[in-house]
Structures are given as C-alpha cells and as structure tokens.
C-alpha cells in the first residue's frame, strides 16, 4: 500500500497535477442541475403545446378519413412536439445521471420521473394559456413551423370524401361563392344553409376549410365552413384569423 501511495505522489509531482478548487465542483454541480431543470422546463413547454394541439385537434374528421387512418393520425397527433418531449426527457436523464446521487437510480425510474415532471409542468403551463400564446408565436415567427402545420392541412384536399379547403376569390351571390383550392383549382361552392364556425362570413380572400359534399365536377355543397387557423385568444373566448395576409 505504501508503494502505491508513493507511486501516486511521484506521478502527481512528475505531471504537476493540482487539485481542483472546491468552487469548481460547486459550479459543475450547479450547471448539471441547471441543465436538468431547463430540460424539464422545455419538456413541459413541449407537453403543454401537445395538450393544446390535442384538445383542438379536429377529431370529428375521422368519419371523413376512414379510407386513410394514416392521414387522420398525421393530422391530429402533434409528432413534432412529442419528439421534442422525448428529446428533452433524454437530456434530463443524461444530466440527472451526472448529479452526485444520480447513479443510485435506475434508467427507467429517471425517464418516467422526467416525463411525469414534464407532464405536470405542461399541465400547469397549459392551464395558464401559455401554450396557446407560444403556438401563435411559433406559427407567426418560425417559417418552417408554419409550413409544417400547413402541410398537415393538406388532408382537407379530399373533396370526394367531403373535405375541401382554399380561398374565396369571388362572391357570386348570397348563396354561392367561388373558391380557389390549395392546388389552384376553381370551385363553385353552394353556401345556402351553411353553418359558419368562428363567426366567419363570406368575404373575398378569406381562407377556409369546408365540410360538405361534392355535387359535380368543381361544384361543392358546403354543410359547414371553418376558419383556416385559430388565432391567439384568452380562455374560452378565442378568435380567428378571418382574412389571410397576402
């Protein structure tokens, strides 16, 4: 034992090793816990927006998309934020393992606890309305996120199954409008006895989603018209973007 201690001391002297100061370990510990906490917080944001999107997912479209379960799943499941949640969970696991007692816990315990904390935090953020505000900010300021959300809406281009979307380009009468769909085709839409959601009214350049029935080539009977996208609001009194910016 004495020889081993002597060898270690000689190696320390030879390589001029110096012990780290106490402040180094305190800083390292603080950074590890800070990153762990940040991972849980970001996971909570991802969870909150996931809850928001799931709540306002258009679940009633399933009867129109029974021919393609994949399309329906892609429309309503927020895979983008679920992926983020899993990523931040892994990050939380990685840094928790590097805490002074992290090695004492099993991987499954750490992962499940991290997910549970993110869900609890996400629920709290969702209840404050922050998830709705963040969703609005991301869509307005992140082009790739806006395109991601709009690409999911292409499922509405299924007129043979009662779904159609596009922009009103002409008001023909109080019972008919002309619509340019997402692919550029022109449709005559019968809006007699149509239910307008979100306080919408037939206005030129209004971008909408339509549930109804295809009557003939490029002719569609609208049973219900919905806004193209939600807008930021507070509580249950949310409102919609009626006129799409050019």
Same-domain pairing of 57 and 170? no
Q: Give the span between the Cα atoms of 178 and 190, in whole angstroms.
A: 9
Q: What are phi and psi of 232, to 5 degrees?
A: -65, 135
pTM for the model: 0.59
Do both 73 and 190 map to the same domain? no
Q: For position 239, what pLDDT does the model report?
A: 35
Same domain, 113 and 138: yes
Q: CA angle at residue 222 from 218 to 151, to 5 degrees?
A: 75
186 in Cβ contact with 227 (< 8 Å):
no
Least reliable range by pLDDT among 45-49, 129-133, 164-168, 178-182: 129-133
Checking if the pLDDT of 113 tops 70, the result is yes
Domain count, the chain: 2
Give the model's confidence band at 182: pLDDT under 50 very low, under 70 low, under 90 confident, else very high.
Answer: confident
Once rounded to an integer, what is the mean pLDDT over residues 29-50?
88
Q: Do both 27 and 143 map to the same domain?
A: yes
Nearest to 226 by CA among 173, 154, 136, 166: 166
The 10s digit of each residue's pLDDT in 81-108 is 888 888 989 988 888 888 878 888 888 9
**Pair 143, 199 in one domain:** no
Q: Are residues 30 and 89 in the same domain?
A: yes
Tell me, yes or no, whether 101 and 140 share the same domain. Answer: yes
User: Does the pLDDT value for residue 243 go beyond 60?
Assistant: no
- Per DSSP, the residues of 132-183 read HHHHHHHHHH-HHHHHHHHHHGGGG-BGGGTEEEEEEEEE-SSSEEEEEETT
- 116 and 133 share one domain: yes
Domain that holds residue 184: 157-227
Specify whether 30 is located in the same domain as 132: yes
């Amino acid at each position: 034992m004495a020889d081993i201690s002597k060898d270690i001391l000689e190696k320390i002297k030879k390589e001029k090793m110096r012990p780290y100061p106490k402040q180094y370990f305190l800083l390292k510990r603080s950074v590890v816990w800070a990153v762990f906490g940040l991972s849980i917080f970001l996971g909570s944001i991802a969870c909150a927006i996931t809850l928001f999107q799931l709540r306002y997912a258009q679940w009633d479209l399933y009867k129109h998309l029974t021919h393609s379960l994949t399309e329906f799943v892609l429309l309503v499941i927020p895979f983008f934020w679920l992926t983020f949640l899993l990523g931040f969970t892994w990050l939380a696991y990685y840094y928790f393992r590097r805490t002074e007692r992290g090695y004492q816990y099993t991987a499954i315990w750490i992962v499940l606890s991290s997910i549970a904390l993110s869900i609890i935090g996400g629920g709290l953020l969702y209840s404050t309305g922050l998830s709705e505000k963040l969703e609005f900010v991301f869509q307005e300021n992140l082009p790739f996120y806006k395109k991601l959300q709009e690409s999911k809406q292409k499922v509405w281009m299924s007129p043979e199954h009662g779904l159609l979307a596009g922009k009103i380009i002409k008001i023909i009468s109080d019972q008919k409008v002309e619509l340019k769909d997402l692919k550029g085709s022109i449709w005559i839409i019968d809006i007699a006895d149509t239910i307008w959601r979100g306080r919408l009214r037939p206005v030129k350049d209004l971008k909408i989603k339509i549930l109804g029935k295809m009557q003939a080539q490029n002719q569609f009977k609208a049973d219900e018209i919905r806004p193209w996208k939600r807008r930021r609001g507070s509580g249950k009194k949310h409102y919609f973007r009626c006129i799409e910016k050019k």
